[in-house]
Amino acid sequence: MSTDTLRTGANTTQKLSAKQILRSSLKPSPTIESIFKYVVVILVCAAFFAPFIYAISTSLKSQVQMLQQPRAFFPLPLHPKNYVEVFNSYPVIRYFRNTLIVVGAVLVCNLLVSSFAGYALSRIQWKGREAFFMLTVSTMFMPLFLLLLPRFLIFKELGMLGTLLPLIIAPALGSPTSIFLMRQYYRSIPMDLSEAAMIDGCSEFGIYWRIILPLTKPALATIAIFTVRWRWNDFIQPLIYLQSEKLYTVTMGLYTIMGTSAEEINIHHVMAFVIMSIAPMIFIFLAAQRHFVEGTTHTGLKG
């Protein structure tokens, strides 16, 4: 090997080493990178939690503290009696009772319908199955406001306006999102289980009810959380279908407490009712969080 070749190789090695040293010096250290990630996470969490903390703070203020300028973020002394005043001034229990009736009926029916439909679209072979599934999924992109007028006219002809039935019937027939989630979860379960049960003489319904459905608890928990949240937060449909204050749900109760003009709004009472209305959703999510994460992972919703 010639001397020029050795010199060229040595120069190339030195250049590569210099580039590697330069890159390593420019690359942030693991400590700085970790600190930056934590700072970003903390700022994002603070942005999400700030409205919730502000609502709690406002719900514990008195009328005098609300008029003070500048307003104190953490009121002293606290006024938890705002929650008692809301209970005494408005039919809060009735709002929650009507909401629980709607949510409970829709939840049970939606779980049954979506589990049946998802099973038929994933584990039973029949002609036109995939086309029907695509048609079902396509309805997910249909805006709710496009269906409000036809539904209103149908319920009016059936004499159901002014009752809770319009809030229950349509969503209780199963949502495309729930059917999609159940189908995806069913597809993750091996067909060998169904084939072995069929060899043992189990009927199709027995396979569904005794073997497959108990394995789908995470997916059912995910659908339950979505369904409860959608029905609990629904405002536009109760506003259209309900004609009596005796049937008002939580969202309509909040609309009533807010009043019809800015002069009638008691912000501390409104925030107290807001905290009471979102507290059940927080408890439900915390109780089913493990199943929710597992269900979204298996159904393909993981980001």
Distances, alpha carbon 200 to alpha carbons 117, 193, 204, 207, 226, in Å: 25, 11, 12, 11, 37
pLDDT of the residue at 143:
83
128 torsion bin: left (phi>0), alpha (psi -120 to 50), beta (else): left
In a 3-state reduction of DSSP, which class is residue 128? coil
pLDDT, residue 250, reads 94
Q: List, in sequence order, every beta strand (DSSP E) within the chain.
A: none
96-144: pLDDT as tens digits: 999 999 999 999 999 999 999 999 999 988 898 999 999 988 888 888 8
Mean predicted confidence (pLDDT) in 141-150: 85
Contacts of 55 (CB under 8 A, 6+ apart): 271, 274, 275
Which has more pLDDT, 255 or 30?
A: 255
pLDDT at 55: 87
Give pLDDT, residue 6. Answer: 40
Cα 186 to Cα 216: distance, rounded to the nearest angstrom: 7
Return d(Cα 217, Cα 273) in angstroms, integer: 33
**Residue 121 near residue 133 (C-beta atoms within 8 A):** yes
Domain boundaries, the chain: 3-59, 90-298
pLDDT, averaged across the chain? 82
pLDDT of 7 > 60? The answer is: no
Question: pLDDT over 70 for what percent of the chain?
Answer: 84
- Indicate the pLDDT class of residue 218, thresholds 50, 70 and 90: confident
**Distance between CA atoms of residues 266 and 278, nearest Å:** 19
The confidence score (pLDDT) of residue 293 equals 65
Residue 160: CB atoms within 10 Å: 16
What tokens does 115 get?
């589990």
Average pLDDT over residues 64-69: 75
The structure's pTM equals 0.79
Top CATH class of 90-298 equals mainly alpha
